[in-house]
Amino acid sequence: MSEPNYLTTREVARLCRVSDATVKRWEDAGFLKSERTSGKHRRFRAEEIARFQREQGLGQKLCHGDRSVLSAPARRRGRPDSDCSFLDLVVAGCEEDAANFVIGAYLQGTGLTDIFDHLISPAMRRIGEMWYRTELSVAQEHLASRAAQYAVHKLRTALPLPEMKGRTAFCAAFESDYHDLPPYLAQLTIENEGWEVMNFGANIPFFSLREEIVKYSPEAICLSATYLTEIERLAREYREIYDTAARLKIPVILGGRVFEDDHLRRRFPADLYPETFGEVAAFIEKLAD
């Protein structure tokens, strides 16, 4: 049998494109197994690193995104690297690096909802502002949004399975709203609390959602609204959803930009208007008590 191929901490860091300290933290947390030399230095088997990279999607692909849209320091370095912000990476369309960024943040101890509230939401808001000011083209905004979606999807596959609570929630974005990242973040937030989630995605017709509510009687409904048209009609049709949920004693959570407006909150009644995904998690946790 041939001798196993060992890597040093520095070599693993280069392969995964993170710092040495991050590799040590991963090892301390049990994500990576290592052996020690007589001098107590860490040595990692190549197969162990390959497994870890495969499972976490780390450092597998170099990004060749559009450098002209990167922040000045990243541009000076010539390409997005591990010092780039999440915003830099998604704007450059570096989906694999963006995924590594959020998975890295999670493995280093940032909570899931903190990643959503303090990393992803601000980056998306900034992308919206850049698009509005024509600093980003529509195509660049689409590329960035796709990279962000991909990163969240990869993060989901890296999350440990929580203890299941035997409860189900519905997630969706309002009819007429095509922004499907917010309901996806809500889905992951609720799944992370050990609930099953049926996510109907963007632009769900209210009559159809109501039929599903009657059929499944979920234990919570979490809807998001980022952009609405035909507010009068939607308010009327939403009322039927809310009344059906109330009759079945199902709490309704309404999140998203639209409900920053008090006037719209009055038009669309709900049990909770969270401003953060952290609030959604806390509400769901309480429901399970």
Q: Give the pairing of strands 220-224 and 252-255.
A: parallel
Residue placing its CB nearer to ligand B12 in the complex, 18 or 258? 258
CB of 287 to ligand B12, least distance (A): 14
The residues of the shown chain that bind ligand B12, judged by CB under 6 A, are 121, 124-125, 127-129, 132, 141-142, 145, 176-182, 185-186, 222, 224, 226-227, 253, 255-257, 260, 274-277, 280
CB of 222 to ligand B12, least distance (A): 5
Q: Give the pairing of strands 168-173 and 196-199.
A: parallel
Residue placing its CB nearer to ligand B12 in the complex, 12 or 123? 123
Residue placing its CB nearer to ligand B12 in the complex, 104 or 274? 274
CB of 175 to ligand B12, least distance (A): 10
Specify the DSSP class assigned to residue 253: E
CB of 89 to ligand B12, least distance (A): 15
Q: In what order do the strands lie in the sheet with 196-199?
A: 196-199, 168-173, 220-224, 252-255
Residue placing its CB nearer to ligand B12 in the complex, 162 or 201? 201
For residue 286, give both structure tokens.
């309480």
CB of 257 to ligand B12, least distance (A): 4
Q: At what angle do helices 95-107 and 138-158 cross, to 10 degrees?
A: 40
With the C-alpha atoms ordered 141, 146, 151, 155, is the resulting torsion angle positive or negative? positive
Distance CA 145, CA 137 (A): 12
Distance CA 147, CA 145 (A): 5
Residue placing its CB nearer to ligand B12 in the complex, 125 or 236? 125
